[in-house]
Amino acid sequence: MFNVLINTILPIFSIIFLGYFLKIKEIIGSDYSRTANQIVFNVAIPAMLLSEIAQAPFRANFNLRAVICTLGALCAVVLISLALLHLLKVPDSRKGTFLHSSFHGNIGYMSYAIAYYALGSDHFPRMAILSSFIMLGQNLLAVWALTTFNTEPRREAQGHQLLKHMLRNPIIVTVLLGITYSAMGFSIPHPFQKGLDILAGMAFPTALLLIGASLSFGSFRLMVREIMGIGMMKLICLPLLGYAFMVLAQVPQPLILPGIILLAAPPATITYIMAMELGGHPELAATSISIFTLLSAFTYSVILAILAA
């Protein structure tokens, strides 16, 4: 595990720490972060996904049992988290964000980077295809959780508009486009492929810098129970359930590790945005993102040391 931490995880997280350092030094400001995030989310990562998936045979990279198992793990964690709401006596104002943060992982930035640098590009297409189904599941459950436990009824109507926005997510759309392209047996013309490769090259380094620049730890002492509950669900329970389901369902071994990397992602940055939009608790979302992004260095090291050995 120590070798995995030093040789695989540390180089990735060093870029995150650099982003945090640059924010402290005010080299990365809010204006840059906002613009860079839009470029990465709408251009760079979709270019990388289209390049990787469109060139991979769909039938060789899609597995229905893996999809069912990962979505089943998401639903199981939602049910367990509903019970934790009462056990931990989570205040009404934090219930929606607690539930949301317990299952919605940072796939587009964190999981993709871990998989790409730890497993290599050969494993990436099957992970990207599987991730499209998990993203859809996460976003649908997220809107349900935040609108169900919304303490500001006047903003509830926004949920339908946000749901439409989630379903137009450029990453999901690109994955579906790449899957269709791959399934039809088409190939990307060489000049276009080269352009995609150039754009893809800036996706993960910039994404990792942005993760570092977004770290915030101010509200931890005020919400210790909720934050620890989120961490237990998101970093431990969800990947363990996913692993158990996939083993029981006899999912092919090459698909298990990519699936676990997707499920083990720390809470997504969009949990903060959605908390703002749907009357959740932004401080709980922001603190959970920051703390568990850092702790995921350890959990990912354990996962890779055990499953990639």
Domain boundaries, the chain: 60-187+215-307
Dmax over Cα atoms in the chain, in whole Å?
58
Q: Is 43 exposed, middle or buried (0-12, 13-18, 19+ CB in 10 A)?
A: middle
How far apart are the C-alpha atoms of 247 and 238, rounded to whole Å? 14
* Residue at 1: amino acid letter: M
How far apart are the C-alpha atoms of 99 and 79, rounded to whole Å? 9
What per-residue confidence (pLDDT) applies to 126?
A: 82
Distance from CA of residue 73 to its chain's centroid?
15
How far apart are the C-alpha atoms of 230 and 239, rounded to whole Å? 13
Enter the DSSP assignment of 268. Answer: P
Beta bridge partners of 105: 267
Burial 166-189 (b: 16+ CB within 10 A, else e): beebebbebbeebbebbeeeeebe
How far apart are the C-alpha atoms of 266 and 276, rounded to whole Å? 19
Residue with tokens 């995995």: 4
Residue 250: left if φ>0, alpha if ψ -120 to 50, beta else—which one? left
Q: What is the pTM of this model?
A: 0.81
The full length of the chain comes to 309
What per-residue confidence (pLDDT) applies to 224?
A: 86
Residue 158, CB half-sphere, CA atoms under 13 Å: how many?
Answer: 13
What per-residue confidence (pLDDT) applies to 135?
A: 84
**pLDDT per position in the chain (309 positions), as tens?**
667 677 777 888 898 889 989 999 889 888 888 888 888 878 888 888 788 777 777 777 789 999 999 999 999 999 999 999 999 999 988 999 999 999 999 887 788 888 888 887 777 778 888 888 888 888 888 878 888 887 665 554 455 655 566 566 787 788 778 878 877 877 788 888 888 888 888 887 888 888 788 777 766 677 888 999 999 999 999 999 999 999 999 999 889 999 999 999 999 877 877 787 667 888 888 888 888 998 999 999 999 988 876
What per-residue confidence (pLDDT) applies to 157?
A: 47
